[in-house]
Structure 1
Amino acid sequence: MLYAYVQNWVKKMLEACESKWDIVKNFVPSWFASVMGTGILAISSIMYSSYLPILNDVAVVLFYFNVLMFFAFIIPWTLRWIMYPKNAFADLKHPILSSFYPTVAVAMLVLGSDFINIGHSMFIGKIFWGIGAIGMAIFSIVIPFYMFKSDHIKLDHVNPGWYIPPVGLIVIPIAGSLIMPHLSGIWYELTVLVNYFGWGAGFFLYLALLAIVIYRFILHNPLPSTLAPTIWINLGPIGAGVIALLNLVNNSSFIPIKEPFYVFSFLFWGFGLWWAVMAIIMTIYYIKNLKLPYGMPWWAFIFPLGAYVASTHLIYGIFHYNIIDYIGFGLYWLLFGLWAITLIKTAIATYHGYPFKGH
C-alpha cells in the first residue's frame, strides 16, 4: 500500500513537470539542506529522549528516512553535472545559489554523525565523514575563489547563506573527533589535522563573514522574503561550533586542561541564545509585515536551530544547570514543528513540480 502511494506520488510529480528531465536540469543545490536538518533532528531526538523515551524510536525512523533522502537526491545532483553542466556551473558561480552547493558535503558529515551515534556503524560513519570532509574542503576554496574574483557581487547578494561554503568546515570535527580515538599512526595524525583545520578555519571565517552580514542587516535593505529564513543560519556556526569544540576537546588526549574550552563554549552558546531570540522576532516580523512565502530556503530554519539545540544539551551535560536543558527541550519542539511544516510544504510543492520549474 505504501509502495503504491509513493509510486502514485512520483507519477504525479513527473506529470507536473514539462519533462522528467526538468527534475535533473533544475535540481537546485539546496536540496541537501533537508538531509542536514533531518540528520541533526535525529541526533537531537536521541539527546532529549531522557525526557521522552519514545524519541529514541523517532530518532531511528528519522535516521533511516534521512539515508533514503540522501540517496534519492544524490542521483539527480550527479546527473545534473553530467547532463546539464552549464546549469550546474552557473549555480556554482551564482552569488547566492553557490552558497548552498556545500550542503551536499555537510549532509554527508551529518550522516557520518548519524551512522556513528544512531546507526552504531563506525565504518560507514568514517566513509561518509571522509568524503564529506574532502568535499567541504574543496567547496570552501572554490566558491569563495569565484566570489573573490567576481566583479558582479553587490550588497544585495549578502545573506547568512554565505556562511555555508567556508564556515561549513566547522562541522567537520563533529563526527571527525569521534573517529580520532579509533585511529592510529598517520591516519590519526591526518584526522587530527583535518579536524583542527576545519574548526580553526571555519570559526575565524565565521567572524569575518558575521561582520559583513550584520553590516548588510543594519545599513542596507532587509533581506527579500524568500531569503528571510536564512537569518536562522547564524545559529549554525554557533551550535555546530560548540558541538565540534566540545567533541574535539573531549577526544584530544593532548589537551590536559579542558575547563577553559568549556567556559568559552558556554560563552559562545550564550551568543547563540541572543541569535535564537532575534531569529524568532525577525521571523514573526516577516510573517506579519513582509510575508514569508514557502521556498527551499525554508530548510535554513532546521539545521542551524538543530545544531543549537544539540549544543544546548551538551552545555547542560557539562555545567548541569537544569534551566539550560529546559531551554534546549523547548527549542527542540520548535525545531520539530518547523521541520514537520517544512517537510510537508516541500512534499506538496514537489508533488506539483514547483521546485523543478527553473529559478
Structure 2
Amino acid sequence: MIAAVRAVTLGCRPLAQLSHPMEVIRQFTPNWFAAVMGTGVLALALPLAHHGFSETGEMLWLTAAAMFALFALLYGARWAFFGHEARLIFGHNTVSMFIGTIPMALATVINGALVFGIARFGTGIVPLAHTLWWIDVVLALACGVLIPYLMFTRHEHSLDQMTAVWLLPVVAAEVAGASGGLLAPHLADPHAQLTVLATSYMLWAYSVPVAFSILAILILRMALHRLPHENMAASSWLALGPIGTGALGLLVLGQDAPAIMAGHGLAAIGSVAQGIGVIGGLMLWGFGLWWFALATLVTIRYWRAGTPFNLGWWGYIFPLGVYTLATFRLGAALEMEAFALIGTGFTALLASLWLFVAIKTLTGAWAGRLFVAPCLAAPQA
C-alpha cells in the first residue's frame, strides 16, 4: 500500500524521475526542437485543409514560437552552465545529427509569421521575418557541411547502424529554401526579392542532391540489414522529409518566380522556373507517395512489436507535414481537386499523430524521463 501511494505521489510531482531540476538543462538536447517543427508544420497545414481552422493554426504557430524561444533558452543555458558536457554532442554519432532541427524549427516559425503574423501584427513583421530568415540560412548552411565533416573525421559509422537521421543536418538547407520562397513575394524591394529567390534555389541545390544520395544508401542499408532498432522506429518517416520539402520548395519558388524575375528582365527564365516547379514537384510527390506507403508498412510492423515512446516520435510529424503542404500546393497549381482531398486526408492524419505524440511528450516531460542526453553516457569518437 505504501509503495502504491509513493508511486502515485511521484507520478504527480513534476520532474520526479530527475535527481535535480537542473538536470532539465544538463540533459537538454536539440531533439526537442523537432516538437517545434511538428507543431509549426501542422499550424501551416490546418488552414489549407479548411479555412475554419485558421485560428487554430495561428494558435499553434504562437505555441511553436513560444516553444522555440523556451528551447533556445534551455539549450543556451546548457552551454552556459555545462559547456564542457554540451560539447560532447559533436562526438556522438546520432545526437549530433539533431542539431539540424534547430534551423528547421526556426524556419517553421518564420513561415508562420508570414502566414499568420502579417494579418495579426501587420506588415511590420516582414522585416523581422527577413532578418530571421538570413540567420536561418547561415545555421542551415553550417549544419549541412559541418556535421557531415564530423561524420567523416570524428564519428564511427557503419552501414548496418545507419538510419535516416543522417538526413537531418542536410535537409535544413532545403527547408530554409522553401521558407525563402514564401518570404520573397512579401519583400518590398525588388532586388531583395531576387536575392532571396536566387539564394533559395541555391539552398535547394545545396541540400536535395546530397539528401537523395543518402536515401540511395539508406535503401541499400534496409535491404541488407533490415530495420533499425525499435528506438529509431520513427526514422523511416524522416526520408519523406527531403522528398516533400524538395517538392514544396520547387512549387513555392516557381509560383512567384515569373513576377519577381520579370522585374529584372528575366521573364523567360521565370516562366521556365514555374514550369520546372510544377513538373518537378509532381514527380517528387510521386516518389514521396512510394515512401509514404513503405513507411506506413514499416510503422505497422514496429507498433505491433510494442515500440516504446521517445522524442524520436516527432519524426512522424514534420515529414508528413511538408508532404501534406506540397500536396495542397500541387492541387492549387494544377487546379485538381483530388490533391486537395488527399491533402485534407493527410492533414487529418497529421493532426491525429500530433495530438498523440504531444500528449506523450507532455506526460514524459512532466515526469522528467524525456530529459536524457545520450552523449553524456556514450563513449566519444
TM-score (norm 2): 0.86
Matched residue, 1:210:
215
Q: Report whether the alignment pairs 1:321 with 2:336.
A: yes
- Structure 2 unaligned spans of 5+: 1-11, 119-124, 375-381
Residue type at the aligned position of 2:361: T
Matched residue, 1:249:
254
Q: Secondary structure at the match of 1:19?
A: coil
Matched residue, 1:129:
133
Residue type at the aligned position of 1:265: G
Equivalents in 1 of 2:313, 2:92: separation in Å? Answer: 19
Residue type at the aligned position of 1:351: W
Matched residue, 1:73:
71
Alignment of 1:98-109 (within 5 A): 98-109=96-107
Structure 1 counterpart of 2:369, from 350, 354, 359: 354
Equivalents in 2 of 1:139, 1:60: separation in Å? Answer: 29
Matched residue, 1:6:
none
Structure 2 counterpart of 1:343, from 358, 361, 378: 358
Structure 1 counterpart of 2:306, from 287, 291, 308: 291
Structure 1 counterpart of 2:289, from 267, 273, 279: 273
CA contact (8 A) 2:254 2:276 kept: no
Q: Report whether the alignment pairs 1:334 with 2:349.
A: yes
CA contact (8 A) 1:229 1:301 kept: yes
Equivalents in 2 of 1:207, 1:114: separation in Å? Answer: 27
TM-superposed deviation, 1:261: 2.9
Equivalents in 1 of 2:37, 2:138: separation in Å? Answer: 17
Cα distance change on mapping 1:110 and 1:126 into 2, 3 Å: same
TM-superposed deviation, 1:358: 4.2
> After the TM superposition, which of the residue ranges 211-220 and 299-308 deviates more from structure 2?
211-220
Equivalents in 2 of 1:274, 1:43: separation in Å? Answer: 24
TM-superposed deviation, 1:85: 2.2
Structure 1 counterpart of 2:58, from 60, 85, 89: 60
> After the TM superposition, which of the residue ranges 146-155 and 252-261 deviates more from structure 2?
252-261
Residue type at the aligned position of 2:203: G
TM-superposed deviation, 1:219: 0.5
Equivalents in 2 of 1:329, 1:301: separation in Å? Answer: 17
CA contact (8 A) 2:255 2:277 kept: no
Residue type at the aligned position of 1:216: R
> After the TM superposition, which of the residue ranges 56-65 and 120-129 deviates more from structure 2?
120-129
TM-superposed deviation, 1:179: 2.6
Structure 2 counterpart of 1:162, from 166, 178, 199: 166
TM-superposed deviation, 1:256: 2.1
TM-superposed deviation, 1:180: 2.5
Cα distance change on mapping 1:119 and 1:188 into 2, 3 Å: closer
Residue type at the aligned position of 2:206: A
Equivalents in 2 of 1:345, 1:248: separation in Å? Answer: 36
CA contact (8 A) 2:15 2:21 kept: yes
Matched residue, 1:178:
182
Cα distance change on mapping 1:22 and 1:230 into 2, 3 Å: same
Matched residue, 2:147:
143
TM-superposed deviation, 1:321: 2.3
CA contact (8 A) 1:96 1:157 kept: no
Q: Report whether the alignment pairs 1:262 with 2:278.
A: yes
Equivalents in 2 of 1:194, 1:300: separation in Å? Answer: 27
Once superposed, what is the RMSD of the aligned Cα atoms? Answer: 1.9
Matched residue, 1:239:
244
Q: Which has the larger radius of gyration?
A: 2
Matched residue, 1:3:
none
Residue type at the aligned position of 1:164: L
TM-superposed deviation, 1:328: 1.3
Note the alpha carbon deviations across 1:99-131, whole angstroms, 9 max, x for none. 111111111111110000111132232233222
Equivalents in 1 of 2:41, 2:373: separation in Å? Answer: 29
Equivalents in 2 of 1:183, 1:93: separation in Å? Answer: 44
Residue type at the aligned position of 1:91: I
> After the TM superposition, which of the residue ranges 12-21 and 177-186 deviates more from structure 2?
177-186
Equivalents in 1 of 2:100, 2:341: separation in Å? Answer: 33
Cα distance change on mapping 1:185 and 1:331 into 2, 3 Å: closer
Q: Secondary structure at the match of 2:239?
A: helix
Equivalents in 2 of 1:193, 1:314: separation in Å? Answer: 20
TM-superposed deviation, 1:86: 3.0
TM-superposed deviation, 1:237: 0.9
Equivalents in 1 of 2:343, 2:372: separation in Å? Answer: 38
TM-superposed deviation, 1:190: 4.2
Which stretches of structure 1, 4 residues or longer, exceed 3 Å deviation after superposition? 183-190
Aligned residues: 346
Q: Secondary structure at the match of 1:101?
A: helix
Equivalents in 2 of 1:335, 1:185: separation in Å? Answer: 37
Matched residue, 2:4:
none
